Amino acid sequence: MEIKSIVTILLFSILGLSLGANASIISSDDPWVDATEGITSGSTAITWFPANQNNSSSSTLDHAQTIIEVYTATWCETCIPAEEALNATITDYNVKVVKYHRHLFETEDPFGNNNTEGRWLSRYGPSAVQADFNARTPPTVIFGGERMHIGSYPTAGVSLEEEYSTSLDSIMRPPISNSSEFTFTWEDGTFEWSWNWEEDTTACRSNCDSISTELYLMIVEDTAFFPEGSNGEEYYHRILRDVIPLGNSSIDYIPPQAWDEDDVSILIVMDWQESQSEETFLEVIPSLAVELVILSLVFTALITPTEAKKRRVQ
Tell me the pLDDT tens digit for each residue of 270-291. 999 999 866 544 444 454 444 5
| Whether residue 102 sits in one domain with residue 77 | yes
Q: How confident is the model at residue 171 (pLDDT cuts 50, 70, 90)?
A: very high
**Looking at the domain assignment, is residue 29 inside a domain?**
no
Q: Could you tell me the residue range of the domain that residue 309 belongs to?
A: 3-22+283-313
If asked whether residues 271 and 306 sit together in one domain, one would say no
Residue 32 lies in a domain: no
Whether 8 shows a pLDDT value over 80: the answer reads no
The verdict on residue 247 lying in a domain is yes
In a domain, 235, yes or no: yes
Query: Would 35 be classed as within a structural domain?
Result: no
In-domain check, residue 27: no
Average pLDDT over residues 227-247: 98
Q: Same domain, yes or no, for 129 and 267? A: yes
Lowest-pLDDT choice from 35-39, 120-124, 289-293: 289-293
Task: Tell whether 12 and 44 lie within a shared domain.
Answer: no
**Exposure string for 27-61, b = 16+ CB within 10 A, e = fewer:** eeeebbbbbbbeebbbbbbbbbbebeeeeeeebbb
Report if residue 31 sits inside a domain.
no
Q: Examine the domain organization and report whether 72 and 110 are in the same domain.
A: yes
Say if residue 193 is in the same domain as residue 308.
no
Question: 107 in the Ramachandran plot: left (φ > 0), alpha (ψ -120 to 50) or beta?
Answer: alpha
Same domain, residue pair 111 and 257: yes
> Pick the residue with more confidence: 313 or 83?
83
Tell me, yes or no, whether 192 and 242 share the same domain: yes
pLDDT at 28: 57
Instruction: Look at 295 and 97; give whichever has higher pLDDT.
Output: 97
Q: Which pLDDT score, from 0 to 100, does residue 308 have?
A: 46
Phi-psi region of 82 (alpha: psi -120 to 50; beta: other; left: phi over 0): alpha
According to DSSP, residue 257 is labeled P
Does 254 share its domain with 288? Answer: no
Q: Is residue 136 domain-shared with residue 235, that is, in the same domain?
A: yes
Looking at the structure, tell me whether residues 106 and 8 fall in a common domain. Answer: no
| Number of structural domains the chain divides into | 2
pLDDT at 31: 86
Q: Is residue 34 assigned to a domain?
A: no
DSSP3 helix / strand / coil % (the chain, rounded to 5): 35, 30, 35
Quick one: residue 291, left, alpha or beta (phi over 0 = left, psi -120 to 50 = alpha)? alpha
Q: Does one domain contain both 89 and 14?
A: no
Task: Report whether 127 contacts 137 (CB < 8 A).
Answer: no
HSE-CB at 60 with a 13 A cutoff on CA atoms is 6
For the stretch 217-233, pLDDT in tens is: 999 999 999 999 999 99
